[in-house]
Structure 1
């Protein structure tokens, strides 16, 4: 099972944003930082999940994915496979497609204090753009 921690960050509403991904797999850890366009914090969180799934599809194909996020909104939307939010809907559709590449996918909400590596990487992505 691959443990994936994601976080999105934005320095202001519709400001510079970034995604951080921390993966634990086969006794190793992997870190990824992605500068993103101007997005809200929630949008950055969704993009972090998408980037993580894309990485896992290429690096860990056919593995069981256990994704953890400190965004209750993202976790709820993905768990319920539903959103009324017109901005989140295309992101959810992309996530559905990416999830289909794995035999099993689990998502779990975790507190921010348990997501420090992904948070550090997301903030680093913003700093890279300044």
Structure 2
């Protein structure tokens, strides 16, 4: 099972945004720190999950995935399989479709202080504007 932590950092609303993904299994860890352009923080949080799913599809296609995010909006949207805001609907649909290929996909909310690896990666991407 992989533990996948996602986060986003945005300056402004909307504004320049970076995402961070921290993936760990029993023996290794993997990171993504990526500047994604101009988005709202909520959009960037969804994009972080999508980026993490894409990475897992490529490198860990048959793994059980346990995602963790400090974004209540993203976690509740994915858990309830429902979104009211039209802007977030395409993100939700993409996450739903991408997660279907894994044997098991879980997502849970965690406090910000438990998400420091992904937070640092997102902030680094925003500061350095790395892709």
Aligned length: 130
**Cα deviations by residue, 1:42-95 (Å, 9 ceiling, x for unpaired):** 110000000000000111111100000000000000000100101100000110
Equivalent pair of 2:18/2:129 in contact (CA under 8 Å) = no
Cα distance in structure 2, aligned partners of 1:29 and 1:86: 35
Pair 1:129 & 2:124 matched: no
Match of 1:120 in 2: 120
Q: RMSD of the TM alignment (CA)?
A: 1.0
Match of 1:108 in 2: 108
Gaps of 5+ in 1: none
Match of 2:44 in 1: 44
Pair 1:29 & 2:32 matched: no
TM-score by length of 1: 0.97
Match of 1:74 in 2: 74
Match of 1:7 in 2: 7
Gaps of 5+ in 2: none
TM-score by length of 2: 0.96
Moved over 2 A (4+): none
Q: CA deviation at 1:26?
A: 3.6
Match of 1:55 in 2: 55
